[in-house]
Structure 1
Amino acid sequence: MSTQPPYGRPNEQQPYGPPSYGQPGFGPAPVMPGAPWPSVPTRRPGTVTAGAVMAFIGGAFMVVVGLVLAVLSGSAEMTEAITETYGPGMGSAATILGVALAVVGALIIVFGAMAFTGRQWGAVALAVITGLSLVGTITDIASGTGGSVVGLGWSIVATALLLSSGSRAWYRTQQR
């Protein structure tokens, strides 16, 4: 028989035994009952990064197209082309449409930045804009005026990435 203490030799770390209370040589301090769990930083998933970058690119594209449309719709040639295509009075509507596109594009960039920094409401706001884009695209196609299927697909993919299960799990860790 050995005369060894029941919990091992003094100053040795053992997998089981009395609590160490953070004393040197006895392992880490235990978590006290009722104390919050130590915060463990988690990395942003690639789905959030990809979805946010897609939102930045799509929003920037909308801002540029909107500003170009707003500026060019003031020219006589552009007003005439718009009037011939869409009917009288639509020349001034093109300016309003251009400004609206630029504003929505800027909002998409802001919401993408919020989603990128861990705020789930940014991803939800982008999902709402994507839903409205879906309705608008279907309406445009039904009326025969076209519709950006590529832009809609881009928005759907970005939103799906931001609302994937891995992204949602990361957002939950960011809310604590």
Structure 2
Amino acid sequence: MNPENLQFPKKTLSPEQRERISMALSRKRPGVSLSLMHRVFQLSVTLVLLIGVGIFSLFFISGEKGEDARNGGSDYSLELPDGIVSERSGNTLIFKQGERTVGGAAPTTPEEKQSLESGPGIFEKKEINDLKYPAERILEHVKTMNATQTYHYFVQTDEKTWVRVYFHTPYLTEEQAAEAMRTFSID
């Protein structure tokens, strides 16, 4: 089949018809143009995405703060030996002897305890039964400029809440740490 042999009908427009079609195409239609609607759609989608990311960020940030509060939301206290003071920073206590940090207490998780237990330098792991709450003591050999050993007490205050209380030697002895832990309480 040869296209040159085919006869297609031809339509020719008069100059008046051409003018009418041209005027109809160039005439402004009432309403909003398609390009303007497209731009408005793009801006609205962008705005919705930005608001969504902002709300997600707020929930994420406040969610982490809320989780920290749940992990150590209760105030805890203990009596320290003479010459040692505690400074509170949120849910964390820092034990100081002059300018030197000699220990502290902070909310923790079982995973952090597990991580410490699997690290090098663990000398002893022992359950402590003479405290108000179930506890476990881990003796870690540190040998830094500030400490040679650290006594870590992991106290389980309820099903989900753990507190790690730690004391650095030689600033506090094992007896002083044990005596301070006997006074540990949740307010």
> TM-score, with normalisation over the residues of structure 2?
0.22
Query: Larger C-alpha radius of gyration, 1 or 2?
Result: 2
Identify the structure with the greater strand proportion. 2
Higher relative contact order (CA closer than 8 Å, sequence separation 6+): 1
Report the TM-score when normalising by structure 1.
0.23
Q: Which has the higher helix share?
A: 1
